[in-house]
Amino acid sequence: MTNPLYDALFAPHEGQDTVFLHLPDGSTVTHAGFLLKARQTANALTAFGVAPGDRVAVHVEKSPEALALYAACIMSGVVFLPLNTAYTAKELDYFVGDSGAALFVCDPAEAEAMAPIAGAAGARLLTLGGDGSGSLTDAVAGQGDDFAPVARGEDDLAALLYTSGTTGRSKGAMLTQRNLLSNARALVECWRFTERDVLLHALPIFHSHGLFVATNVMLLAGGAMIFLPKFDLETVLAKLPMATTMMGVPTFYTRLLDDPRFDRDLTAHMRLFISGSAPLLAETHRQFEARTGHRILERYGMTETSMNTSNPYDGDRRAGTVGFPLPGVEVRVCDPETRAELPVGETGMLHVRGPNVFKGYWQMPEKTREELQEDGWFLTGDLAKIDGDGYVTIVGRGKDLIISGGYNIYPKEIELFLDAQPGVKESAVIGAPHPDFGESVVAVLVPEAGTEIDLAAIEAAARADLAGFKRPRHVAVVDALPRNTMGKVQKAELRKTYEGVFRQKAG
């Protein structure tokens, strides 16, 4: 029995002195050096009693050491649980406790605040800073450099990613070795990655996009990454001449287009620009092509499936569509009620089936049965249509999902928070178009009779309990929410009312 992810992503690079990571200060990390650190980290995990199948929750800044921790988890058969760095203590308490994490790694600056969370979950607490320092690093330094990868099967869990639920309770998507490896292989094939590629990597690695799409693809292809802690316009413009490819969210591309230095000459050597995690406006497509001569390749994925579809490498990359199913992946559009497949061109719920589809939701068998059918079809909750040429277009999202800057936001979670605030009778949360983030959060509040809502107090509470990307960027107070005859809030009407609110602010 082997370890499929280790065998495909890491084993081929053992002993290779080729560059894997280009760091912002000009230094580099070779494949061999990276894997040495990963083996030492795997030995540290074993020394701490972390066993195959255990969960390691990670709430740290992006760094080569954090990436080595991911590699170490794969080597040692441990389930990697990356957590958004914007999550608050309240949110982290749920994730660490629900996952039953054996180890919780956080930033040194938050160790005191995280200690009670780790204690309540029975998890050991270690630290790792964005500069590579911390108690985990200290422990790794004393470890040997030999480690025999733990045998794992294709159906064994490799990662656990939490995605918000419409009930307010987050769901842990269980991703197997097969899920991650099949997706990386399909993307390398479709996007033509080779060992000659250098990827400009400014994405976070707590998210599927930056970790499983960007990093796994480059490991499989054998190329290098310009490994930036975040998207900084000046740094990206300076490092772009070293790159051949770039993956980003729409915000990256709108910010580049805002700078006149980003032009055809600066991008002449580039092979491919890829966008995902949020819809890319057709206008951004047009501006980008006019400015650079490159047409952005847009694709579509989910936490539960990684990537599902992609516009073609060769052929028409159609703005507003997410292209065709990846190799080995099937998609269909079905009636949301009957689940019967619909004719070409009709809108319904998108179903996905393939080796990329997750194993189910962590400790949620009923939710798994609702969304993952016995025959392998996953009900995405996204509304879509497929045209006569086979291009998939996402036309809306079931469950009122908001995607802001690449992050999924479910309104129900924020509504539950707002409804609990003093003076709030009820609330409705919607997404409105935002020029940078694709969408952003709008909260519409109804006050209790005879009271006045303290918006400053609500803003302060949101800063304490909600991740930054979830906080409402516009709050409106109304006498009543629009409802239909059955009493259901008409969110479509609210979206029409507030669709221009962020354009007005920008203006």
Say if residue 487's pLDDT is above 60.
Answer: no
Q: Which residue has the tokens 């819809």?
A: 279
Domain boundary among 348, 371, 400: 400
What tokens were used for 118? 């780790």
Both 389 and 475 in a single domain? no
E strands, 1-46, are 19-22, 28-30
Contacts of 499 (CB under 8 A, 6+ apart): 432, 433
Residues 380, 239 share a domain: yes
Above 80 in pLDDT, residue 373? yes
pLDDT band of 415, cuts 50, 70, 90:
confident
In this prediction, residue 167 carries a pLDDT of: 43
CA–CA separation, 274 and 449 (whole Å): 50
Separation CA 91–CA 103 (nearest Å): 17
Q: Name the pTM for this structure.
A: 0.83
Examine residue 167 and state whether it is found in any structural domain, yes or no. no
> Any idea how long the chain is?
507
pLDDT at 394 over 80: yes
Report whether pLDDT(251) > 90: no
- Alpha-carbon distance of 420 to 445, in angstroms, equals 12
The 10 Å Cβ neighbour count of residue 183 is 28
Count the Cβ atoms, other than its own, within 10 Å of residue 337. Answer: 8
Select from 253, 212, 223 the least CA-distant residue to 236.
253
One-character DSSP codes across 33-46 = HHHHHHHHHHHHHH
Instruction: Looking at the structure, tell me whether residues 372 and 433 fall in a common domain.
Output: no
Query: Does residue 293 form part of some domain?
Result: yes
CA 369: distance to chain centroid? 24
pLDDT at residue 312 in the model: 97
pLDDT above 70 coverage of the chain, percent: 96
Same-domain pairing of 203 and 223: yes
pLDDT band (50, 70, 90) for residue 211: very high
Indicate whether 427 and 296 sit together in one domain.
Answer: no
Q: How far is C-alpha 238 from the chain's CA centre? A: 26
Contact 49, 75 (CB under 8 A): no
Separation CA 138–CA 61 (nearest Å)? 17
Instruction: For strands 330-334 and 438-447, give the pairing.
Output: unpaired
Q: Given CA atoms 288, 205, 93, 160 in this order, what sign does their dihedral have?
A: positive
For residue 79, what are the domain limits? 4-18+32-153
The pLDDT score that the predictor gives to residue 150 is 97
Quick one: 389 and 479 in the same domain?
Answer: no
Q: What is the DSSP string of 332-396?
A: EEE-TTT-PBPPTT--EEEEEESTTS--EETT-HHHHHHHB-TTS-EEEEEEEEE-TT--EEEEE
Q: How much is the average pLDDT of 255-265?
A: 95
Asked which of 400, 426, 456 is the last residue of a domain, the reply is 400
Q: How far is residue 255's CA from residue 258's CA, in Å, rounded to a whole number? A: 5
- Which one of 341, 375, 400 terminates a domain? 400
The C-alpha atoms of residue 303 and residue 352 are separated, in whole angstroms, by 13
On whether residue 178 sits in a domain, the answer given is no
Question: Rounded to an integer, what distance in angstroms lies between the CA atom of residue 392 and that of residue 329?
Answer: 13
Which residues pair with residue 447 across a beta bridge? 424
CATH number for position 367: 3.40.50.12780
Q: Which of 300, 298, 291 is nearest to 266 (CA)?
A: 291
Residue-wise pLDDT for 35-59, tens only, equals 999 999 999 999 999 999 999 999 9
CA distance 90 to 464: 9
